[in-house]
A = this chain, B = another copy of it.
Amino acid sequence: MPKVGMQPIRRQQLIEATLQAVDQVGMGDASIALIARLAGVSNGIISHYFQDKNGLIAATMRYLMSVLSENVTARRQVLGDDSPRAHLQVIIEGNFDASQVNGPAMKTWLAFWATSMHQPSLHRLQRINDHRLYSNLCCQFRRVLPLDQARSAARGLAALIDGLWLRGALSGDAFDTEQAQRIAYEYMDIQLAKQECKSTSA
């Protein structure tokens, strides 16, 4: 029974079915038929809401990115402390949030990364995402460090966050959030300490 105004509902329904499918069988075996079955709709509907399979994949990736982004934003808004350290902590916590370190999300991100190497449209999305983390980190470090040091610290912390996330994802075991955060905080504090040392000596 067709209805009007179904577009946003259907789109979200299909995106979630896509995540579910990738989690269950991997991106390679996540066929249109499986996704449609998981969403409880017909095969044909997908090309109605998304141009084709690539469109659905890209939309799903954009959705995942927006969840991450909104997560960090939300955490920042309830932040009393405005110090760089507090902001950096929020970014770290957001990246190790439960919404990012569960099985489905980790599998989907990995699949997206691999796919993005050969699909310009996905690659663009992926670069935006990567740059956002670096940019957010750099922005905070910049408040207490000279440009070069801030950039280097941001690159290092971004890499450390992604690396901790990656190794956790690939391990197959449950993600050890506490351990990851401890290591990231330590790195953050070491980088922030450079400023203190300098200002102390000055």
Contacts and interface: CB of A to CB of B under 8 A. Distances in A.
A117 interface: yes
A28 B54 CA distance: 13
Residue in A25, A123, A170, A179 whose Cβ sees the most chain B Cβ within 10 Å? A170
Interface string A11-55: 000000000000001111100000000000000000000000000
Nearest to A103: B117
Contacts of A114: 26-27, 107, 110-111, 113-115
A25 B117 CA distance: 9
B107 A117 contact: yes
Contacts of A180: 159
Nearest to A129: B170
Given A26-B114, A114-B114, A186 B107 contact: no
A183 B167 contact: no
A155 B179 contact: yes
A171 interface: yes
A55 B106 CA distance: 25
A139 interface: no
Nearest to A131: B171
A111 B171 CA distance: 16
A158 B162 contact: no
B127 A117 contact: no
Contacts of A145: none
A47 to B, nearest CB: 11
